[in-house]
Amino acid sequence: MAMAPSSRLGPVAQVSLHNGFRVCSLRRRRHVKTYAAKSEGMITKLARVFSEKAKSDYERVFGAMDKTRERLSVADELFTYWQLDEYEEALEELEDVLLTADFGPKTAARVCDSLRVEIKAGKVSDGSEVKALLKENIRQILTAPAGEGGSDNPLSFPDDAEVGTVLVVGVNGAGKTTTIGKLAHRLTSQGVAVALAAGDTYRAAATEQLVEWGKRTDSPVVVKRGEKEKPPALLYRALEETLAAHKNGEGTDGYADVLVCDTSGRLHTNYDLMEELGKCQSSMQKVMPGSPHETLLVLDGTTGLNMLNQAKEFASYVNLTGLILTKLDGTSRGGAVVSVVDEVGVPVRFVGVGEKLEDLQSFDADSFVDAILPAGI
Ligand SMILES: Nc1nc2c(ncn2[C@@H]2O[C@H](COP(=O)(O)OP(=O)(O)O)[C@@H](O)[C@H]2O)c(=O)[nH]1
Ligand SMILES: [Mg+2]
């Protein structure tokens, strides 16, 4: 649906002119765009953005998992003195160790049950092999939702999508807005143009926070227009404007390859607000069928197994396509990641490992498993 130019430019220009970053943003973006080959499709661009970061991600994830690794290191004693004829007792102890790192009763039992089956079948003979098997079982849980042959790319959009759309949801304080800032940083610094939508309309400070991230990452921000505009209406307008700007081509105000939408934090137990989230999703669908392409649930890793209830609840209102776990840098409850994926069946796409711009890492199951259970006993 075409928009009158004045309404398309309105809110974006207001914010940017007021903060004096619009002019600078366009100039810099043009520069960045020359770096990303023009013929390069968005999918290829994204694949490059994320694969280039893979190596440094590993070191950061390893560092962030210190506390969880420490908890699980108790299991190394079990593996060191492993005796096949006493495996039942050892498996019970292993289950307890997994519980201390918040693997959750269901997942801890499932992991140990499958070890038991393989031990009984004579597939392992010593502790180091049991540890390797444990790691493989966890890796399988983490990779199962994406399926074999699933995309390695933490964000995927249909090849023919003019603009990729991302809806970010979660409870208050989970880290949504910060994560959006980090994500915008990663994308824009590699030549992917990003626009942000300030869908958290209930608190003025929330919009200011996102506008600040817009400035830092050179991304235009669509903000609430008038007192009455509710999140579903704002996201509708944001997507419409972004599509219109995209049609007009690079250099147009609000031009973006990817639109990332913030939402208000809501308690997963608040029925009305959760319903509204469903409306946010459907208003984006109305503008662009198949949208939002990614609906990412941000979960605060320090809350451990509480994440599980939140994830189940959000999954019943919106079509979650991925999880982002934040604050893993400050927790020894990292095992909860495994239980959330196991029980909710949605893959982890990113992990937050600090408050800085660079502290958002693509999630890789192998690196994660190595970080919580390093090689050697
Ligand atoms: N240590 C750490 N802090 C984080 C991380 N992500 C977000 N935070 C902090 O968590 C707090 C809440 O973040 P915010 O983005 O405002 O949450 P929102 O309410 O979900 O939008 C802020 O103080 C952030 O700096 C992370 O990965 N690690
Ligand atoms: Mg926020």
Residue 72: give its domain's CATH number. Answer: 1.20.120.140
Percent of the chain with pLDDT over 90: 60
What DSSP assignment string belongs to 160-187?
T-SSEEEEEE-STTSSHHHHHHHHHHHH
Cis check: omega of the bond before 292, within 30 degrees of 0: yes
Cβ–ligand 1 contact at 202 (below 6 Å): no
Indicate if 103 and 72 belong to the same structural domain: yes
**CA atoms 214, 219, 220, 225: torsion sign:** negative
Q: What is the pLDDT of residues 30-85, one digit of tens each?
A: 333 333 333 456 666 666 666 655 555 677 788 888 899 999 999 999 999 998 88
Residue 348 resides in a domain: yes
> What burial class does residue 223 get, using C-beta atoms within 10 Å of its C-beta: 0-12 exposed, 13-18 middle, 19+ buried?
buried
Residue 169 resides in a domain: yes
Residues 6+ away with beta carbon under 8 Å from 43: 153, 156, 157, 159
Domain that holds residue 138: 66-143
**CA atoms 133, 139, 140, 142: torsion sign:** positive
Q: What is the pLDDT of residue 340?
A: 93
Cβ–ligand 1 contact at 281 (below 6 Å): no
Indicate if 284 and 263 belong to the same structural domain: yes
Judge whether 327 and 175 are in contact, CB under 8 Å.
yes
Confidence check: pLDDT of 266 > 60: yes
Which H or E run includes 351? strand 348-352
Tell me how crowded residue 63 is: count the other CB atoms within 10 A of its CB. Answer: 13
Q: Whole-model pTM?
A: 0.85
Task: Give how many domains the chain has, as a whole number.
Answer: 2
Indicate if 138 and 160 belong to the same structural domain: no
Cβ–ligand 1 contact at 331 (below 6 Å): no
Indicate if 44 and 98 belong to the same structural domain: no
- Mean pLDDT across 198-222: 94
Indicate if 124 and 160 belong to the same structural domain: no
Indicate if 201 and 263 belong to the same structural domain: yes
Residue 193 resides in a domain: yes
Indicate if 34 and 86 belong to the same structural domain: no
Task: Determine which residue's CA is closest to atom 9 belonging to ligand 1.
Answer: 175
Confidence check: pLDDT of 341 > 90: yes
Q: Select from 325, 332, 355, 361 the residue to mutate for testing ligand 1; criterion: most ligand atoms less than 8 Å from CB.
A: 355
Q: Of 143, 168, 192, which closes a domain?
A: 143
Indicate if 312 and 183 belong to the same structural domain: yes
Indicate if 249 and 309 belong to the same structural domain: yes
Indicate if 344 and 268 belong to the same structural domain: yes
